[in-house]
Amino acid sequence: MKGKITVIIVLVVTLAASAYLLTLGKSQDDAEVGGVFASELTQRAASMTRIELERGDEHITLTRTADGTWSVATSGGYPALTAQVAGLVNGLASLEMDAAMTSKREKFGELGLAWPAATASIGALVRLFDTPAADDAAAPFAEYVIGQERASPRMQYVRRLSEDQCWRCRGSVTIDTEPQRWMSATLLSLPSSEVHAVEIGGLALSREVYGTQWKATVDDASKEYWTPERLHEAESVFPSWLSRLEFDDVRRPATAVGADAQTKTLVFDSLRAKLVVHCVTEGSAMWARFEVTLHADAPARDAGLNGDVNAKYKYAGDPQIPDWAAWDAEHKDWEFKLPAWKVEQLKAEPHEAIRPPQP
């Protein structure tokens, strides 16, 4: 029992010593404690035109457009989610200084406030601008280093990049540097009953009625690739490929395809539209653009075999039949980076012929 008490005392003393070291050199100005940390932001939020986020090698730039909405400049200017931008701004603006921490640079890393950060996953930089144009060379009006977050109660370690004083603030803010976090990353959630024909790599799958078995047709040039086992896998993968289609990033289509790039085309015929997916592989990334042809005699979205499917999203990823004309207008000028798990599904298409075993 005495040994346990000794261990507890040593632990308490150690924690107290650590806290003391982190608070060495801190400001004791009581007037600042309890105040708003991002005071510049609260004063200039209405005129803000650009936000830059950095974490390790990842970099996101958000710019305010002429109509007041936001776009992801580092992803070709694709529309940003208003709620996501508002969450970042509100999170920064709500930080209240709870205690002054260390001002010793050698201690910054312990709070995740060293910049550049030694570890990419800890520490991020936020730059805020209110310059007239996105390409203006003027300096940001605020630069904040966002460090570790502490739970129960929620606390965030922060400092201004130009200052050595570190702060522990009440509240927290999430700095996302993955492009898809700033955009509506769901491209399609098409009900599986909507698709009735698929073409890929010399294979054509078709069915007359939902729920019936798929019929497979292989052209002569591809017969040595498609074994019964591969056909079975194709029937289980390709018809439902559009049932959950998301993206990791987006860009304007490249004007020319690189000499080492690989291309493939998928064709999906549905009750209401034909969708051609043009894919190009660059290194480990696959980018896709879409070509939509509307069927003139198509039933309305709330009619036909899918009359029970809501034409509007009820929740993210909810299966739904889009307004194909509107969907085409929204996506036709863009190229989308497919997530790795979606690219993996396309590997059901064989690239090597089946050779008879050697004697």
What's the count of helices (H) and strands (E) in the chain, helices before strands?
A: 6, 19
Residues 204, 328 within the same domain? yes
Of 177, 201, 236, the domain-final residue: 177
Residue 59 inside a domain? The answer is: yes
41 with 171, same domain: the answer is yes
What domain range includes position 150? 25-177
Backbone angles phi, psi at 76, to 5 degrees: 75, 10
Task: Name the domain count of the chain.
Answer: 2
CA gyration radius, the chain: 27
- Which of 149, 177, 205 terminates a domain? The answer is 177
1 lies in some domain = no
Is there a single domain that holds both residue 221 and residue 338? yes
Please tell me whether residue 67 adopts helix, strand or coil conformation: coil
Residue 104 lies in a domain: yes
Write down how long the chain is. 359
65 with 206, same domain: the answer is: no
Would you say residue 153 lies in a domain? yes
Q: Tell me, what DSSP letter sits at residue 246? A: E
3-class state of residue 271 by DSSP: coil
pLDDT attached to residue 137? 64
pTM over 0.85? The answer is no
Both tokens assigned to 126: 């936020």
CB 312 within 8 A of CB 301: no
The residue among 251, 322, 235, 243 whose CA lies nearest residue 286 is 251
Distances (CA, A) of 224 to 203, 214, 356, 358: 12, 20, 10, 16
Residue 16 is assigned to a structural domain of this protein: no
Question: How is the beta sheet containing 142-150 ordered, strand by strand?
Answer: 78-79, 70-72, 58-64, 50-55, 124-129, 142-150, 155-160, 166-170, 96-100
Domain end, chosen from 148, 177, 206, is at 177
Do 35 and 110 belong to one domain?
A: yes
Same domain, 172 and 197: no
Q: Are 173 and 301 in contact (CB under 8 A)?
A: no
286 in a structural domain: yes
Own/partner pairs, 75-84, CB within 8 angstroms, 24+ separation: 75/179, 75/182, 75/183, 75/249, 75/250, 75/251, 76/250, 76/251, 76/252, 76/334, 78/183, 78/250, 78/334, 79/183, 79/184, 80/182, 80/183, 81/182, 81/183, 81/184, 84/176, 84/181, 84/182
192/189 Cα distance (integer angstroms): 9
pLDDT tens sequence for the chain (359 residues): 444 444 333 333 343 334 434 444 444 444 467 799 999 998 888 899 999 999 988 999 999 988 999 999 999 999 999 999 999 999 999 999 999 999 999 999 999 999 987 776 689 999 999 976 555 567 899 999 999 998 888 999 999 999 999 999 999 999 999 999 999 999 999 988 889 999 998 999 999 887 788 999 999 988 888 888 889 889 989 999 999 999 999 999 876 777 778 899 999 999 899 999 999 998 889 999 999 999 998 877 776 555 556 666 677 778 888 899 999 999 999 999 999 999 998 887 776 665 545 55
**So what's the pLDDT on residue 136?**
58
Q: Answer yes or no: do 171 and 200 share one domain.
A: no
Residues 337 and 190 in one domain: yes
In a shared domain, residues 171 and 94: yes
The amino acid present at 66, given as its one-letter code, is A
Strand extents, DSSP E, 102-154? 124-129, 142-150
Confidence (pLDDT) at 33: 75
Reference 142, options 72, 53, 63; nearest CA is 53
59 with 158, same domain: the answer is: yes
Inside any domain, residue 215: yes
- Tell whether 197 and 219 lie within a shared domain: yes
Residue bearing tokens 């709870």? 98
pLDDT for the residue 132: 64
Tell me the backbone φ, ψ of residue 224, rounded to 5 degrees.
-75, -10
